Amino acid sequence: MDQIIGNIGLLFEFPVVNLKILLDGIMIGALFALAAYGLALVWGVMNVKNLAQGDFVIAGGYVAWTLDQNGIHPFLGIPVAFIVMWIIGWITYKLVIKRVIERDLFTSLLATFGLAIMFAQILNLMFGSDTQSIQLDMPTLYFADGFIDVPMSKLVGVVTALCLAFGVILFMKRSRMGQAIRATAQDARAARVLGIDTDKVYAFTFSLNSAICGAAGAIIVMAWVIQPFYGITYSIRAFVIVTAAGLGNLPGVIAAGLGIGALEQYGSHIFGIGYQQAIAVLLLLLVLFIRLLQQRRKRQVLQ
């Protein structure tokens, strides 16, 4: 308890710490938001709750890491991870996801949970259980007497993440495929009647999600560390963010992503870093509770 009070005291004693915490939170939050956006897409369009979301992220990270080991610049790893994970996502869709779309909630949860375990173990067999990261030869920027440090790698990562998010938004708004995806999300049957090949749309959506995750992973491996079993941390965050922001609400997803990043950093500053994940789950509970109150008049049947 003394330590908690002491930690809160530090925030007031050194106000610049607040800025540092916020920045750290926003930087990691941007990547949470990216993974969450992919989840929102798949959830909204196909009604599949993908528990393997975080494992796609980590897999993308390993793609970039492998390239780096072979002397290819990690920035190139981002588009390559995007493409490789697109292909893996497409294969996953054809093999597994396609068969669970029309089924109930639990089938898709179980199937993607299985996928998550399989992905983690395959990565473990391929790359071993060591933590890996890419060390970029880039300077770190320092502000406020060296108190605030912004490694260029993180900055580049966040900017890339934002560009990617922006690109996806544009794509969804403007392109034919984007329109088809939105139409399918609204009403799959009506879309089929109007001549949209929904199976193709589903395959595309799932691959796109996987590719976004892959790119996020390629950014994460430059700025943080990855390990085959770290997927779950990103899955949990993605679920919390999507639940908080709601489906099909992209600005909401980004805001929630940045918010959860910052809140977690505050939480770990005040209560100790051991409670970082607990804060994410606590937020999920809170959000669910509020949602429940909001929707208590709406009646639905569980299929």
Partner 1 sequence: MKTLRNLGVSVVAATAMFGATSVMAEDCETITLGAAISLTGKYATNGVHAKNGYEYAFQKIKENGGVKIAGKCYNFSTIYYDDESKGDRGATLAERLINQDKVQYMLGPYSSGLTKAIAPVTEQYKIPMVEAEGASRSLFNKGYKYLFAVLSTSEQYLASAVTLAAEMAEKEGKDAKSVKVAIAVENDPFSLDIRAGVKEDAEKYGMKVILDEKLPRDLSDMSAILTKVKLLKPDVLVVSGHSKGAATAVRQIGEQRINVPMIAVTHCEAADVVGNFGKSANDILCSTQWAETLSYEDELFGTAAEYEQGFKEAFPEYTDKTVPYQVAQASAAVYVFKDAFERAGSLDKEKVRDAIAATDLTTFYGQIRFSENGNNIAKPMVLRQIQDGKYNVVAPSDFASHKLNWPRKPQ
Closest to partner 1 by CB, 167 or 272? 272
Q: Identify residue 180 by its one-letter amino acid code.
A: A
| Angle at CA of residue 136, ends 147 and 230, nearest 5° | 85
Please state, in angstroms and rounded to a whole number, the distance separating the CA atoms of residues 292 and 274. 29
Tokens of 74: 């990690």
| DSSP class per residue in 82-138 | HHHHHHHHHHHIIIIIHHHTTS-HHHHHHHHHHHHHHHHHHHHHHH-SS-B------
| Cβ 126 to partner 1 shortest distance, Å | 11
Sign of CA dihedral 30, 32, 36, 38: positive
Rounded least distance, CB 228 to partner 1, Å: 8
The CA distance from 180 to 182, in Å, is 5
Nearer to partner 1 by Cβ, of 249 and 277: the residue is: 277
Which residue, 150 or 255, has its beta carbon nearer to partner 1? 150
Minimum CB separation of residue 65 from partner 1 in Å reads: 11
Q: How far is the CB of 240 from partner 1 (least distance, A)?
A: 15
CB 161, min distance to partner 1, A: 16
Distance from chain centroid for Cα 195: 32
Nearer to partner 1, 147 or 171 (CB): 147
DSSP 273: G
* CB closer to partner 1 out of 146 and 251: 146
Burial (0-12, 13-18, 19+ Cβ within 10 Å), 176: exposed
State the residues that interact with partner 1 by CB under 8 A.
3, 7, 10, 13-14, 17, 20-21, 24, 28, 121, 124-125, 128-131, 133, 135, 140, 142, 146-147, 149, 151, 224-227, 229-230, 232-233, 265, 268-269, 272-274, 276-277
Q: Whose Cβ is closer to partner 1: residue 20's or residue 205's?
A: 20
CB of 300 to partner 1, least distance (A): 34
